[in-house]
Structure 1
Amino acid sequence: MTTLTTDPTTDPASSLTTGLPGLVAHFARTTPDALAVTDGETFLTYAELAVQARAFARVLRDRGVRPGAAVGVLLPHSVPLVVTQLAVWWAGGHYVPLDADYPAPRIATMLETAGAVLTVGDKDLVEAAGIPGDRTLPPPARAAEHAGDDVPAPAEDTYAPDAVAYVMFTSGSTGQPKGVAVTHQGIARLAHRPEYVTLTPRDRVLFHSPVTFDAAAFEVWAPLANGAAVAVSTADRLSPAGLARDAERLGATVTVLTTALFHHLAARRSPLFGVLRGVLVGGEALSAQHARSVLDAHPWLELVNGYGPTEATTFATAHRVTDADCDAPPPIGHPIAGTTAYVMDEHGQPVAPGVRGELWLGGPRLALGYVGQPDRTAESFVGHPTAGRLYRTGDVVSARPDGTLDFHGRTDDQIKVRGFRIEPGEIEHALRGHTGVADAAVVVQRPAPDDARLVAFVVREGGGDGAAAGAATLRAHLEGRLPAHLVPNAWAFVDALPMTGVGKVDRRALAGRAVEGGGEPDGGPEDGNPPAAADGLSPLQQVVADLWSQALGHPVDDPEADFIALGGHSLLALCVVEDLREDLGVEMSLADFFAAPTVAAQAAHVERALLHLHEDPGAPGDGPAASTASEDLR
């Protein structure tokens, strides 16, 4: 059988038995004074990190955490977050990262699915999530106040390779998120002495990705597995300009970026690339044009195009991109860190080099499966008669004669939007749960090469109070159930969904169907009245409207126009935020942007900021730095 694989005899993690907790303990003994974690204000050495984590592990054990127990973690990016995750491991459990921006029902489903016995979280976050107080625990203290305590180490630092390290949730086509059980050997082999990117004890890896995004696992554990430091970006929501400032402030040298964010930063010639030595990019197909522009401007930069599903522990293949790769779409490279890869036909047989087929992955870094979903696990993780246990990715690839893999798309309806893996079926299932919806289909449309938008095509239910349900009602329905990145950016209401000859929804036809702006405007069919006529724009409103028009790709001339209703999302909002800063010197956070989502409201915000700047020319505006696109991609 033709296989593309790393050589296990040279795999640096092949003899790793202590897992990541053991590696941290090793560095705490051998380089105790080396920096392990910092947010720019708090600095923990490896010795201090080990002491704090073991002290908190004792607290967790006192609260009933035992080997195999799941512990929810609901904390912002912070030093205590890193301490907590390590402490959960030393207590014998595995952690479940949670996002405070998720709706409370979603968080409850994640905790129930994972079987969490306890959730560590800030008081206001756990209360907002509706988690019972008797099942919560505050995080460890932020200061290194326990650094001098004599806390005994666990009996041993050896971890069963196939024990669960963490459960990461992804979108599920059945309407429920899928909890992927990643093992200790999976994350340890990925992180320890990576051959696919340069990482030395002198490096600092920027921890900025959402904790529920699997890149975050690399950002925390790769530095700690190699004696390097985690540079914690505590302001979770930064503008790309703020991201560069934060990287410089923290002395970061390596980072992971979603492909969409990388494209955005490249197009705007971000100074971030001038700060870093290494960048890993992943999540979607990499633009050759943007890769070349970054490498031309920063020839020293190590740019790695990574590929991998959560089920194979973040990165399964990788390729260091050079200028020579940029005459065509850059490849996703060769398998890394013990992964095996096979390009198969529909019968599970290998295809010849150059022939397209489905990518099946194997090796010791495969996840155990989906928590509580044995049928879904059996569908995706299959036993092959000669290759052993393999994961069917659903991705279409081809292999070059030297084994380098090229990516060509999907075999199913799953899509990637701004780095997030999205199962349209999950959104469609939630939409059909509304009384006003008879049927629905969700597709991705790309009005521009660097802009991907979710579009919902809805068939209304005839009769009843729900018959007039429009975009505003359905958006609110979804926002109460799904994360922001699963809420469509545009809406269209149709009499029936187009079908293929075999009776399936014709998603290709829907993807090519024109949708004006964000689809049906809020407030239109909801009340049976046509939208109000646009009022005249003030000069400042016209400036905002022009920036919106440039970002959205269509004219905006109504002061009451709503950015989200017109098809906007966080990455496009960042364009407006940055243009306001560059053109007018006004800082606006994304929180402020979405709290004042109309042209008129944003113009009023800009006016207040300009008055503040006039009164105090040295002020940076009246808002904090805005969000990274990778943190809150609506």
Structure 2
Amino acid sequence: MSTISGASRDQREVAVDGFSSGGPDISLTELFRAVARKYPSRVAVTAEDGEFTYQEIDARSDVIAGELIAAGVTPGNHVGLCVARESGMVAGLLAVLKCGAAYVPMDADHPAERLRWTLRDSGAAAVVTSSDLALAVAGSEVRTVRLDLLPADGPPRAELPPPRGTDPAYVIYTSGSTGEPKGVPIGHRQVVRLFSGTRDWFGFGPDDVWTVFHSAAFDFSVWEIWGALLHGGRLVVVPRDVARSPASFHELLCAERVTVLNQTPSSFRRLAAADARAPRSPAHLRTVVLGGERLDPTALRDWIARHGDDRPRLVNMYGITEATVHASYRRVLRADLDAEGPSPIGVPLPDLTFHVRGPDGEPVPDGQPGELYIEGPGVASGYLGRTELTRERFSSDGAAHRVLRTGDRVVRLGDGQYGYLGRTDDQIKIRGFRVEPGEVEALLTGHPAVASAAVLPRDYGEDDVRLIAYVVPAGTAANGAYEKLVGELRDLAGTLPAHLRPSAYERLDALPLTPHGKTDRAALLALAGNGHRPAGRADLPAHGPAAPHATTQERITAIWRTVLDVEDVAPDADFFDLGGTSLTLLRMFEQVNAAFGTDLDITVLIEGATVGSLASHVDAAAAPDATRPRTEEHE
């Protein structure tokens, strides 16, 4: 195992218990090394492929780092990270940092074209992956280091240069209004101060068990991964299928004795519903951190009724990728359930300053809404390779630190706390992901048969927000021609991550325009029923229940028509091809289980989400014994 140059062992040991003591140049890698020395035999990572101690993860990441250096990776490079939800995700990102490089996390579920684009745009020198995922990044002209072909431990193949705290640690991509995502580089120092600044609020330590629930490409994972590793805690890597199932995830929380949980409000709402039905509770939970999207405290009413507001503590943290994950802190208490007003986001982190400004850029008084500007050492330097966009969103303004223009509307309340009101632009949040409609619109209008298009959110209730594309065909198009066009647009959207794909495509003769000639999004929302359509589209017949003596398949079809808000559902049509989302899938399963008195989990559809497949599972679950024959419709 390689040694650390630079500060002494004593300094590093102190840094384990006090992040700031290592000085501004302390790096995540050095802090991790110090933790690994202090707790070598403690389990660092629990994953599907086993449990690994700090010493084992440290040694394994050394081997991967040596392989990266042998592949030509040098300090300052960017390295892609495209791996499954296993221990290799943690060892891989540590290895990249040990080379002095920054990791570029990529969601292995994203389309191959998107993955290759990310590698090109980031200028990645290499990519850490595995043999089963290597095909997805093939043709990207970067060297691959395949985790499954490397030994678990052994001496590194090259000297590992220690990174500095000022070096970039990762580059995470967010949706871009110009049609392309934008990369946000964040440094070691910015992540370290995130935890040193919040330690008095949370008191994280070596006895904590964390889950990494989110994709590594979502910056909430930065908080999850480093929150465990920098404090000597245990990190439980949640398998993909478990993350998709609230019931399975709830059972994991109980079985692994998780103490620190991090969720978007929409995900936590489903988890809370599973908790209400579960035979046992996650009794070891002491802290639940909510973030990534707007919190409505009233959605926590049932949870607090069962568990109270003290253990676990519920904390709402407003954040933005450009300000290093989290920027504010707010305990959520029982009294908040009956409070009116904006979503409470609390106070800025200790080293950040919030400025609320009007359209003229001047400060506004307390109680008056304005746009939030964040100042402090957590703010990124800008966007990777996007000079003009960086100039628009980032400035110094004579301040000691960078200032970020967030695009979020907030209000400073009389008690010094802040409330979140929404966006000043078209950007939206879907299941925690930032979505710039312009990115999707640019893709759709690239089709030669599309004259113009607009993409807006539609709320179907229970946090089920989906994207709707309004399309104006080029020239005249008969219904059959438009249906063909929609099929081609769905294929085009298949090159986007799932959260960016429209669920429906509605034809218009022309987009409504403002007096300035821009798309009138307010008018489009009015066409869609003010953006809230939980009961189905008005332009389709009402989706009534199935007939009293309907077959299993007919009853499930009726549920799908209502939940998906579509007229026709073929037995072999895929749920997601019909416009479903991961959250819609959960809603559908809740209704199916309620209708049939079953307790099926979404994992039964792992091989394909169709009415026919689900009907066979419902019949099997409802049968008095395993020998009961299936109904004729499924033969």
Whether TM exceeds 0.5 here: the answer is yes
Q: Which runs of 5+ in 2 are unaligned?
A: 1-17, 541-545, 629-635
Aligned to 1:204: 209
Map 1:179-578; keep pairs closer than 5 Å: 179-192=183-196, 194-236=199-241, 237-270=243-276, 271=278, 274=283, 276-299=285-308, 300-326=311-337, 327-328=339-340, 329-336=342-349, 338-386=351-399, 388-462=401-475, 468=482, 469-479=484-494, 481-514=495-528, 517=536, 538-548=550-560, 551-552=563-564, 563-564=575-576, 567-578=579-590
On the 8 A contact 2:377/2:401 being kept in 1, the answer is no
| 1:91-150 CA distance string (max 9 Å, x none) | 11111111122122211111011101111111121213434587211116798x42xx46
Name the SS for the 2:204 alignment partner: coil
User: In the superposition, relative to structure 1, how do residues 407 and 248 fare at CA in structure 2: closer, same or farther (>3 Å)?
Assistant: same
Q: Quick check: 1:172 aligned with 2:204? A: no
Distance 2:613 2:539 in 1: 21
Distance 2:625 2:324 in 1: 47
User: In the superposition, relative to structure 1, how do residues 324 and 51 fare at CA in structure 2: closer, same or farther (>3 Å)?
Assistant: same
Distance 2:465 2:160 in 1: 51
Q: Which runs of 5+ in 1 are unaligned?
A: 1-10, 522-533, 617-634
User: In the superposition, relative to structure 1, how do residues 176 and 572 fare at CA in structure 2: closer, same or farther (>3 Å)?
Assistant: same
Name the SS for the 1:304 alignment partner: strand
On the 8 A contact 1:548/1:556 being kept in 2, the answer is no
Deviation at 1:337, TM superposition (A): 5.2
Deviation at 1:561, TM superposition (A): 7.0
Deviation at 1:175, TM superposition (A): 0.6
User: In the superposition, relative to structure 1, how do residues 510 and 387 fare at CA in structure 2: closer, same or farther (>3 Å)?
Assistant: farther
Q: Quick check: 1:18 aligned with 2:46? A: no
Deviation at 1:349, TM superposition (A): 2.0
On the 8 A contact 2:130/2:148 being kept in 1, the answer is no
On the 8 A contact 1:519/1:565 being kept in 2, the answer is no
The count of aligned residue pairs is 589
| Structure 1 stretch displaced more, 512-521 or 97-106 | 512-521
Name the SS for the 2:263 alignment partner: strand
Identity over aligned pairs, percent: 36
| 1:509-541 CA distance string (max 9 Å, x none) | 2122238958999xxxxxxxxxxxx99995201
On the 8 A contact 1:443/1:456 being kept in 2, the answer is yes
Distance 2:458 2:224 in 1: 31
**RMSD between aligned residues:** 3.2
Deviation at 1:496, TM superposition (A): 0.4
Distance 1:295 1:557 in 2: 39
Deviation at 1:435, TM superposition (A): 1.6
User: In the superposition, relative to structure 1, how do residues 41 and 474 fare at CA in structure 2: closer, same or farther (>3 Å)?
Assistant: closer
Name the SS for the 1:194 alignment partner: helix
Larger RCO, structures 1/2 (Cα 8 Å, 6+ apart): 1
Give the structure-2-normalised TM-score.
0.85
Distance 1:492 1:141 in 2: 48
Distance 1:174 1:93 in 2: 28
Aligned to 1:5: none
Residue identity opposite 1:306 in structure 2: M
| 1:138-194 CA distance string (max 9 Å, x none) | 116798x42xx466996774x433311111011001111111111111112223463
| Structure 1 stretch displaced more, 466-475 or 211-220 | 466-475
On the 8 A contact 1:537/1:558 being kept in 2, the answer is no
Name the SS for the 2:90 alignment partner: helix
User: In the superposition, relative to structure 1, how do residues 128 and 519 fare at CA in structure 2: closer, same or farther (>3 Å)?
Assistant: farther
Aligned to 2:7: none
Give the structure-1-normalised TM-score.
0.85
Aligned to 1:620: none
On the 8 A contact 1:518/1:564 being kept in 2, the answer is no
